[in-house]
Amino acid sequence: MKRIGIVTWFMHQNYGQVLQAFALQTSISKLGFEPELINYHPSIVTERTTGIFEANLRRLPHITASRLARVLTRELYQLYCNRISSRKRLFKAFVKSYLKVSQEVTNINQLSSLYEGFICGSDQIWAPTVFNEYYYLSFETDPKRKISYAPSFGLNTIPKNISEQVAALLYNIKNLSVREETGASLVEELIGKKPHIVVDPTLLLDAEQWSQVASRVVVRCPFILCYFLGNNPEHRAIVNKIKQETGLHVVILPFNTGDLFRKGFAAKSSIGPREFLSLVSNAELICTDSYHGILFSINYNKPFLAFKRFSDEDPVSQNSRVNYILGKYGLWDRLVIDKDELCYNKRIDYSKVNKLLKVEREHSKTFLESSLAGIGDRFDNL
């Protein structure tokens, strides 16, 4: 079987990141190839995407003025470490059991001789804020051996200081696809060629396939799943309002300090990728500002509310990808705009959503299959 090297993010404690890597690897394997996630991590990405919460918490004992506050924050940090250590173990166990990862790579120039072809994607690996040529497969000179599958720029514009560099890199990828319409427009502006728009890898697998990966039931009573990456207190207040109106238990995945001890919310720290899938599949309602939180809600046909993590005026806002997915599936009413006009009781007509998703899933699988079929043997040109 031909070996395919995958260039993406997969080593951090991020459910969407790890599960999209698993889904793409699984989909490639089903097509008769031997995929492997390349274990190389440019420093700019490592610094940007790991341990932000932990780093801020570590600094607290040193920057807090009073001795009592320093003692309390040290205790807080230790408590946090104790609570999330099991989450770290579960992520590591998932990567070890479910992902095929290469040996650590220190010299990317050697990769071309190890694989027949390469795929970059998905996730926001093309985000200008973490720009790195590696994520455009710059180490491989043959365009026919390169595929982009659903990478996202995350933003609506490419800064002028890197636009020519990005254009040159895109020209050198034969089989181009992106995840969002905004990304397709950016590529077309840069190189005059419109790429395919394909679904996020997590949507290549249906709910039944994900259920085979999910863990046993984590919470047995009816509950609202609260999955916020942002720290907007108003979003928590809205969830609390729904809790009061419905009487449902609230389970929150703590990615912010306050969520560890939020009154009336049950913080679940020992949740890895498999446990996350179980929570989504069993929740009565999902409240999230996470892109992949929304995707899994849709894939599992669950009631959900989507919250904006960024201000629309923020120059690095990532709201466009959420807007795109809600607009594409006719789910604009799930976006929380007014706290007094919540539609959590309104039924979602998933029959329409599923029909559209089926068509897009098949298109995406066809793109992936035809692109992989066009990859020649690495010795063809010798």
Indicate whether 218 and 141 sit together in one domain: no
Indicate whether 192 and 211 sit together in one domain: no
Indicate whether 107 and 125 sit together in one domain: yes
Name the phi and psi angles at 216, rounded to 5: -65, 170
Q: Residue 255 has what pLDDT?
A: 87
Q: Give the pLDDT band of residue 49 (cuts 50, 70, 90).
A: very low
Read off the tokens for 294. Answer: 């929304």
Name the phi and psi angles at 218, rounded to 5: -95, -40
Judge whether 55 lies within some domain.
Answer: no
Average pLDDT over residues 272-295: 98
> Residue 98 pLDDT more than 80?
yes
Read off the tokens for 135. Answer: 């994520």
Indicate whether 139 and 259 sit together in one domain: no
Q: Which residues of 349-362 are buried (b: 16+ CB within 10 A; e: fewer)?
A: ebeebbeebeebbe
Cα first-last separation, the chain: 20
Give the total number of structural domains in the chain: 2
Cα radius of gyration rounded to whole Å, the chain: 21
> Residue 289 pLDDT more than 90?
yes
Distance CA 194, CA 190 (A): 10
Please, are residues 22 and 101 in contact by the beta-carbon 8 Å criterion? no
Name the phi and psi angles at 146, rounded to 5: -120, 135
DSSP code of 125?
T
Domain span at residue 40 reads 3-48+98-204+359-373
Judge whether 380 lies within some domain.
Answer: no
Q: Beta-strand (E) ranges in 64-158?
A: 101-104, 117-120, 146-148
Q: Is 294 strand, coil or helix?
A: helix
CATH number for position 262? 3.40.50.2000
Q: Give the pLDDT band of residue 50 (cuts 50, 70, 90).
A: very low
Distance CA 292, CA 17 (A): 8
Distance CA 65, CA 325 (A): 45
Name the phi and psi angles at 230, rounded to 5: -80, 175
Q: Residue 382 has what pLDDT?
A: 44
Judge whether 368 lies within some domain.
Answer: yes
Distance CA 194, CA 178 (A): 10
Indicate whether 189 and 273 sit together in one domain: no
Indicate whether 220 and 149 sit together in one domain: no
Judge whether 54 lies within some domain.
Answer: no
Q: What angle do CA 318, 320, 323 make, to 5 degrees?
A: 125
Q: Report the share of the chain in percent with pLDDT over 90.
A: 77
Q: Residue 76 has what pLDDT?
A: 66
Q: Residue 68 has what pLDDT?
A: 61
Higher pLDDT, 8 or 259: 8
Judge whether 76 lies within some domain.
Answer: no
For 146-162, write each residue's pLDDT tens digit. Answer: 999 999 998 889 999 99
Indicate whether 212 and 318 sit together in one domain: yes
> Residue 138 pLDDT more than 80?
yes
Task: Kindly state the helix (H) or strand (E) to which residue 177 belongs, with its residue range.
Answer: strand 177-178
Indicate whether 325 and 271 sit together in one domain: yes
> Residue 56 pLDDT more than 60?
no
Q: Residue 112 has what pLDDT?
A: 95
Judge whether 75 lies within some domain.
Answer: no
> Residue 75 pLDDT more than 90?
no
Q: Residue 257 has what pLDDT?
A: 77
For 111-122, write each residue's pLDDT tens digit. Answer: 999 999 999 999
> Beta strands 223-227 and 196-197: pairing type?
unpaired
Indicate whether 173 and 43 sit together in one domain: yes
Please, are residues 125 and 9 in contact by the beta-carbon 8 Å criterion? yes
Average pLDDT over residues 279-296: 98
Average pLDDT, the chain: 91
pTM: 0.91
DSSP code of 105?
P
Q: Residue 317 has what pLDDT?
A: 75
Judge whether 86 lies within some domain.
Answer: no
For 167-211, write each residue's pLDDT tens digit. Answer: 999 999 999 999 999 999 999 999 999 999 999 999 999 999 999
- Shortest CA distance to 151 belongs to which of 131, 164, 160, 140? 131
Average pLDDT over residues 17-37: 99
Judge whether 333 lies within some domain.
Answer: yes
> Residue 65 pLDDT more than 60?
no
Please, are residues 257 and 83 in contact by the beta-carbon 8 Å criterion? no
DSSP code of 2?
-
> Residue 47 pLDDT more than 50?
no
Distance CA 32, CA 375 (A): 13
Q: Residue 313 has what pLDDT?
A: 76
CATH number for position 367? 3.40.50
For 238-256, write each residue's pLDDT tens digit. Answer: 999 999 999 999 999 998 8
Q: Give the pLDDT band of residue 260 (cuts 50, 70, 90).
A: confident
Q: Give the pLDDT band of residue 258 (cuts 50, 70, 90).
A: confident
Indicate whether 162 and 187 sit together in one domain: yes
Indicate whether 265 and 228 sit together in one domain: yes
Indicate whether 217 and 343 sit together in one domain: yes
